[in-house]
Structure 1
Amino acid sequence: MSKFAPGTPMDANMKLTSRQYYEHTGQNQEELLTDKITYQKLIGKLLYLNMTRLGISFSVQTLSYFLHQPKKSHIDAALRVIKYIKRQSGQGILLSSDCRNEVTAFCDADWVACTLTRKSVIGYVIKFGNSLIYWKAKNQTIVSRSSVEAKYRSIASNVTELIWLIGLLKDLKAEVH
């Protein structure tokens, strides 16, 4: 990793693995961290910061998967997220003063993203007017057979959230287009 702050919170080509992955494949194991409490506290702080920093959602979700048995590569990846945040300190969620009552949503899936479980990661965002109001990145609950199936499941999760959100907005007497 470069000594300069990264342009992304996580290297796109990095595949983090657990100790069980090494046991299953028979590859050389990387040392577990002796002080996992520090890693757990760091990830907890990143989860809290995730509320206002959309750009780290996927990275923090991925790193939180290894809370019980973190390795050196996991702490290195977490420190990369910290360096990214430090470099992007002015970034965050900006709420627009635009009064458009239009709800828009975007979603995507990363098929077979988890090397251990072979589950896909889905992500989606929902905007009200020009303001981002909801986002999520998570592992799917089952293994998808294709990238199309993974994307279909992402869409289904997004639509479920949209239905709930539109119902809430109608209960609050907000006009929605």
Structure 2
Amino acid sequence: MGNNDSHVARFKKYLHSTFHIKDLGPPKYFLGIEIARSDKGINLSQRKFILEIVSEVGLSGCKPAIIPAEQNAKLTTHEYDLNSSSSIEDPVLKDPSAYQRLVGKLIYFTMTRPDICYAVQILSQFMHSPKQSHMDAALKVVKYLKGCPRLGIFLSRDCNMKMTAFCDTDYATCPMTRRSITSFCIKLGKSLISWKTKKQSTVSLSSAESEYQAMAKTTCEVVWI
């Protein structure tokens, strides 16, 4: 890609003389990402890839979920389910590879689906020793994606080059470390260009301290952009 057509044409000619390439024109589908162009801008989505994953895990006939994660659900490494008052056993999966593959694909979905970043951030913490509750939570994210596979990122053609940042924090939400989670998103004009959900590196002693940490991380991203 480039903003100089003559340089792009010269580079493609050089590649063709060396590797015998084929110019397919403007991209429409690349590495699972669908690219739809219009007069208003470019829309990026992973509809086809999402539907393939839904079919792969056997959820084609299930009812879609309206949210990607249960509210107040606490996923941990403990042997018992902390969300149940009767301490139901929560066994470790005998074969963690299925969970690891699924969460790996969900991480890839966050490239165009910032709405699942929070849930995927939590699920990715248990890759080494996942339990049945973790697998159930990952499948819920898939059920949520099944209900809205067409959602994605829209890059608007009209841009005033004004940057806007939003950030928030979930204070002491991790039941194991009591660390907070920072989330932010940054828009350039009407287009969303950067987003992240990540556990803070230290334990905050107050909600105000965790908020300041979130703002500091967001400011670093804004300065870098």
Q: TM-score range by the shorter chain?
A: 0.7 to 0.9
Query: Structure 2 CA distance, aligned partners of 1:151 and 1:60?
Result: 21
Query: Structure 1 CA distance, aligned partners of 2:188 and 2:221?
Result: 13
Aligned pair partner of 1:149 in 209, 215, 218: 209
Aligned pair partner of 1:54 in 88, 92, 114: 114
Q: Does 1:82 align with 2:82?
A: no
- Alignment gaps of 5+ in structure 1: 166-177
| Residues 81-134 of structure 1: per-residue CA shift (max 9 Å, x gap) | 001111111111111111211000000000011100110000000000000000
* Alpha-carbon shift at residue 40 of structure 1 (Å): 0.4
Mean CA deviation greater in 88-97 or 140-149: 88-97
> By percentage of residues, which structure has more strand?
2
* Alpha-carbon shift at residue 19 of structure 1 (Å): 2.9
Query: Structure 2 CA distance, aligned partners of 1:49 and 1:32?
Result: 25
Aligned pair partner of 1:101 in 155, 158, 161: 161
Max radius of gyration: which structure? 2
Across the aligned residues of Structure 1 and Structure 2, the Cα RMSD in angstroms comes to 1.5
Q: How many residues are aligned here?
A: 159
- Alignment gaps of 5+ in structure 2: 1-61, 82-86
TM-score normalised over the length of structure 2 = 0.68
Aligned position for 2:74: 15
Aligned position for 1:121: 181
- The runs of at least 4 aligned residues of structure 1 exceeding 4 Å deviation read none
Q: Does 1:160 align with 2:220?
A: yes
Give the SS at the match of 1:138: strand
Name the % identity: 45
